[in-house]
Every structure is written in structure tokens, then in C-alpha cells.
Amino acid sequence: MPQPAQTIVDNFHRVQERIARAAEQAGRDASEVQLIAVTKYVDAELTEALLNAGANPLGESRPQQLWEKAKCPTLRTAKWHLIGHLQRNKVRRTVPMVELIHSVDSRRLMKAIDEAASEGGKRSRVLLEVNTSGDAAKHGLTADELQEFASQLADFPRVEVCGLMTMAARDGGTSVASRNFATLRELRDQLADDLPAGTTLSELSMGMSHDFEEAIREGATLVRIGSLLTAGID
């Protein structure tokens, strides 16, 4: 294997070990935490190296980049997660390609996904993105918006809402990140009574390269890791 491909595969295995260790230290089973290998920093060739090493699902934050990779024959077996912002004009093209959209943050976007799913004849799986850091530059619903939205989920029968997603504050260090993650978990627990029958928000997508261990301690079921995988590659 050429050297960058070897490096990314080694990094992937190291991240898997760290996830397993963090889960164990939190008294959780490692199988409860799924790694989303974020491939937005690398080309199709290095993405293929990751996929062949067992990294799946893969995450992209920009719809166009996801589309590009999703049509690569070498990446046919990849299951794609869209982790970044989705504009409504990109919904119809994106919905059939992805297993999970992490970033639903408005009714209008939800409605567009519901319509696209209806055309495709199958339910779309999504997470609701919540702004737990109070950072105005971040996407995501406020706690109040989330509560209102959660009571309206029956309006979107073609969308299965599987859980919540957040990004922690960037500058506060790990203690602030931990608090943001705990907030997401608490919001999820508080919503339990307001959900339509059959909906359980079992997934918590939280934790990135520099804070995934804190996220696992706070109950993450999906961690989205990119830059740790490319460490040592220019």
C-alpha cells in the first residue's frame, strides 16, 4: 500500500481502539458506539483505503462532495451519512444516496426531505441538529425550537427521526464540550413524552476528533471523526 493509504488505515485502527477504550471506561459496550469515518479531507483513493479497512459508514459534510464520491465505482459499498448543512435545493439528489442525514434544523428542510422520500418510495432516516453551545454561528435548533418541532414530527410520515446531533463549542475545552454533550442527552430524555408513537430518539451523534472521548462518556452512539484519520498525511 502506498504510504498515505497505510497511514490512514493505521489511524483508523487507532481511533477504533480509542473508541473501544473510552466506551469501556464509561461502562458501556463498544458496540453501542459507531464510528462515522469523515472523509471530507481526502480524495476517493484514500476514502477507498478506509473503506477496504472496514470503515463504514462514511461521512461527508458537503452534499456535492458526497455526490461525487457516491458515484465512484470503487466506493460502491459505502454507506453515506450527510453530517453537514443541507440546503433545500440539494435534498432531492441527496436523499436517495444517504443512510442518515445528521443535520435537520428546520421544518422547511424536514418537509423537503419528506417529499423527496415520498417520491423515492422509502422512509428517510434523520437526526435533528441542536445548538447546545449557544454559538450563534452554529446551525441547529434551540432547545425551545426542538421541543416545538418534536411535537410536530407526525406531520412528516416519510421521515424517521432517529435521534439528535450536536457540535460542541470549539473554544471552551473539554469541560465545556462535556457540558454541551450532557445537554443533548438531557434534552433527548426530556422529549421522550412528547414524541409520536413509535418514535424513539435512540441515537446521539456527538463528538469529533478532539472531543469524542467526552462524548462517549456522555452517551454518544455516533461519533464523527475526520482529522484524526488524516494525521500525518499532508
Shortest Å distance, C-beta 100 to ligand PLP: 13
The pattern of x and - marking residues 64 through 103 that bind ligand PLP according to CB under 6 A reads -------------------xx-------------------
Q: What is the DSSP string of the chain?
A: --HHHHHHHHHHHHHHHHHHHHHHHTT--GGG-EEEEE-TTS-HHHHHHHHHTT--SEEESSHHHHHHHHT-GGGTT--EEE-S---GGGHHHHGGGEEEEEEE--HHHHHHHHHHHHHHTSPEEEEEEB--S--TTS-SB-HHHHHHHHTTGGG-TTEEEEEEE----SSSHHHHHHHHHHHHHHHHHHHGGGSPTT----EEE---TTTHHHHHHTT-SEEEE-TTTTTT--
Q: Residue 83 CB, nearest distance to ligand PLP (Å)?
A: 4
Does the footprint of ligand PLP cover residue 224 (CB under 6 A)?
yes
Span interacting with ligand PLP, options 47-55, 69-77, 88-96, 219-227, rule CB under 6 A? 219-227
CB of 42 to ligand PLP, least distance (A): 11
Provide CB contacts within 8 A for 140, sequence distance 6+.
Answer: 105, 129, 130, 131, 132, 165, 166, 167
Near ligand PLP in 144-203, by CB under 6 A: 167
Could you say which of 17, 227, 231, 232 contacts ligand PLP (CB under 6 A)? Answer: 227
- Quote the cell numbers at residue 122: 422509502
Which region, judged by CB under 6 A, interacts with ligand PLP, from 74-82, 144-152, 181-189, 224-232? 224-232
Q: Which is nearer to ligand PLP, 182 or 228 (CB)?
A: 228
Q: Which of 5, 40, 50, 219 binds ligand PLP (CB under 6 A)?
A: 40
For ligand PLP (CB under 6 A), the number of binding residues is 13
CB of 131 to ligand PLP, least distance (A): 13
Q: Is 26 in the site for ligand PLP (CB under 6 A)?
A: no
Binding site for ligand PLP (CB under 6 A): 38, 40, 61, 83-84, 167, 208-209, 224-228
